[in-house]
């Protein structure tokens, strides 16, 4: 882990340079090689595309036994076969679940809990949609995919994560723009905008990271949130085509975006729990007081997540 240099502090304030490949290029000179983690069991959600796919491949190269979580069987099979072939690591498997559905997420946790203990859980799957959409279970899609499923997975699997294990929540710099709204998690009030709905779920992940860091401290489980910066993935080009075109030439590669995720999963440097990371360095969680929640908001958030993540029936 690096201390914030003056250059880094300057980059932090510029946002556009910090989040793009410019920031990554300027910071990476201090990065140490990531150590091998042979045999460690890592579960990665959203492993069939973009950052999750790249991170899974890199973790496989480091010797991990990786469980790819995907919702599409063909894509999951393709990812597994490609990773096995390119890395020569046969310990790559997949599990299928539509994480926007709590019934499927709950079934996934049962299957994972019946398997070997987990060393690292990476909550990476995420969506940004243009219009307010409800799942078949009646939950707003962004909330269900980005926050509820990962809440349910983590809470249900916590006892199955080894002592000294790690949980990594893939958040976003977008969370700087929003505060959490526990009384309107499903974005039923006001005009829906996909970027705001997305940012609220990403803010929720950062809050959960801090709460889980305390909750799992006695078992020495390190909980981290990270943001990848802006990386060139199918997710970005599909959901933000104009942004993708404008920033395109300086978007990070998926490997650069996934670097901190892989580093947090594998580093043997001491990592303080409960932090929000970019480029292997903890960052501020707020840029303005406007986005700060009160302690009561945190209590209300957890109550709402408990209620909404309960599978129907
Ligand atoms: N790329 C960036 O610049 C950036 C910036 C900030 C944060 N992030 C975060 O990084 C994470 C990965 O994003 P990405 O850019 O790599 O996007 P991506 O290429 O669209 O990958 C998203 C992954 O999530 C999976 N997923 C989506 N909905 C799902 C569902 N209902 N059930 C199961 N899996 C589902 C997708 O599965 P399919 O393959 O089946 O679609 C895919 O594997 C997200 O949490 C995103 O918010 C990305």
d(CA 294, CA 1): 30
Q: Are strands 92-96 and 118-123 parallel, antiparallel or unpaired?
A: unpaired
**Which tens digit of pLDDT belongs to each residue from 205-225?**
999 999 999 999 999 999 999
| For residue 297, pLDDT beyond 70 | yes
Classify residue 313: in a domain, yes or no. Answer: no
d(CA 206, CA 211): 9
| For residue 239, pLDDT beyond 90 | no
Average pLDDT estimate for 269-273? 96
**Which tens digit of pLDDT belongs to each residue from 106-129?**
999 999 999 999 999 999 999 999
| For residue 4, pLDDT beyond 70 | no
Of these residues, 24, 151, 176, 198, which one is catalytic? 198
Average pLDDT estimate for 149-162? 98
Classify residue 247: in a domain, yes or no. Answer: yes
Predicted pLDDT at 281: 96
Predicted pLDDT at 17: 85
Q: How far is CA 108 from CA 54, 101, 152, 201, 267, in A?
A: 22, 11, 10, 21, 27
CATH number at residue 61: 3.40.50.720
Active site residue 198: yes
CB 200 within 8 A of CB 178: yes
Q: Which among 261, 179, 265, 266 has a CA at the least distance from the CA of 226?
A: 261
Classify residue 1: in a domain, yes or no. Answer: no
Domain total for the chain? 1
Q: Which among 239, 223, 113, 110 has a CA at the least distance from the CA of 174?
A: 239
CA 199 to centroid of ligand 1, rounded, Å: 14
pLDDT band at 243 (very low <50, low <70, confident <90, very high): confident
Q: Which among 95, 113, 83, 89 has a CA at the least distance from the CA of 39?
A: 89
User: Which has more pLDDT, 51 or 3?
Assistant: 51
CA 237 to centroid of ligand 1, rounded, Å: 11
Average per-residue pLDDT for the chain: 95
| For residue 3, pLDDT beyond 80 | no
Classify residue 24: in a domain, yes or no. Answer: yes
Predicted pLDDT at 111: 98
State percent of the chain over pLDDT 90: 89
Which three-class secondary structure state does DSSP give residue 207? helix
CA 143 to centroid of ligand 1, rounded, Å: 13
Domain hosting 152: range is: 6-308
Q: Which among 222, 153, 211, 159 has a CA at the least distance from the CA of 182?
A: 211
Number of residues assigned to the chain? 313
| For residue 1, pLDDT beyond 70 | no
Report the residue among 235, 243, 250 best suited for mutation to probe ligand 1: largest number of ligand atoms under 8 A from its CB: 235
User: Which has more pLDDT, 58 or 5?
Assistant: 58
Predicted pLDDT at 217: 98
Average pLDDT estimate for 84-99? 98
| For residue 93, pLDDT beyond 80 | yes
pLDDT band at 2 (very low <50, low <70, confident <90, very high): low
d(CA 201, CA 128): 10
Predicted pLDDT at 192: 97
Average pLDDT estimate for 156-165? 98
Classify residue 78: in a domain, yes or no. Answer: yes
Which three-class secondary structure state does DSSP give residue 44? strand
Which three-class secondary structure state does DSSP give residue 16? helix
User: Which has more pLDDT, 8 or 211?
Assistant: 211
CB 121 within 8 A of CB 167: yes
CB 56 within 8 A of CB 68: yes
CA 5 to centroid of ligand 1, rounded, Å: 31
Q: Which residues line ligand 1 (CB under 6 A)?
A: 46, 48-52, 70-72, 75, 98-100, 124-127, 145, 170, 172, 227-228, 230-231, 233-236, 257
């Amino acid at each position: 882990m690096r201390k914030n240099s003056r250059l880094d502090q300057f980059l932090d304030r510029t946002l556009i340079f910090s989040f793009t490949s410019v920031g990554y290029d300027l910071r990476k000179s201090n990065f140490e090689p990531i150590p091998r983690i042979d045999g460690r069991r890592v579960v990665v959600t959203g492993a069939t595309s973009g950052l999750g796919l790249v991170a899974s491949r890199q973790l496989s190269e480091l010797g991990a036994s990786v469980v790819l979580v995907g919702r599409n069987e063909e894509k999951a099979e393709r990812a597994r076969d490609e990773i096995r072939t390119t890395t020569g690591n046969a310990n790559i498997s997949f599990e299928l679940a539509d994480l926007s559905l709590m019934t499927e997420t709950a079934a996934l946790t049962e299957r994972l809990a019946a398997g070997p203990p987990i060393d690292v859980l990476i909550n990476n799957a995420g969506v940004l949609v243009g219009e307010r959409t409800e799942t078949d279970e009646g939950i707003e899609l962004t909330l269900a995919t980005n926050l509820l499923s990962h809440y349910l997975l983590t809470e249900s699997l916590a006892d199955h994560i080894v002592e000294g294990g790690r949980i990594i929540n893939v958040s976003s710099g977008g969370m700087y723009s929003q505060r959490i709204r526990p009384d309107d998690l499903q974005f039923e009030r006001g005009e829906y905008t996909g970027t705001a709905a997305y940012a609220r779920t990403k803010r929720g992940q950062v809050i959960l990271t801090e709460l889980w860091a305390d909750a799992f401290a006695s078992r020495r489980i390190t909980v981290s949130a990270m943001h990848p910066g802006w990386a060139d993935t199918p997710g970005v080009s599909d959901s933000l085509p104009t942004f993708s075109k404008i920033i395109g030439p300086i978007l990070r590669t998926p490997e650069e975006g996934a670097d901190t995720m892989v580093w947090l999963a594998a580093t043997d440097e001491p990592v303080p729990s409960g932090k929000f990371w970019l480029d292997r360095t903890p960052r501020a969680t707020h840029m303005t007081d406007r986005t700060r929640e009160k302690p009561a908001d945190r209590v209300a958030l957890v109550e709402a997540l408990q209620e909404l993540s309960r599978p129907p029936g």
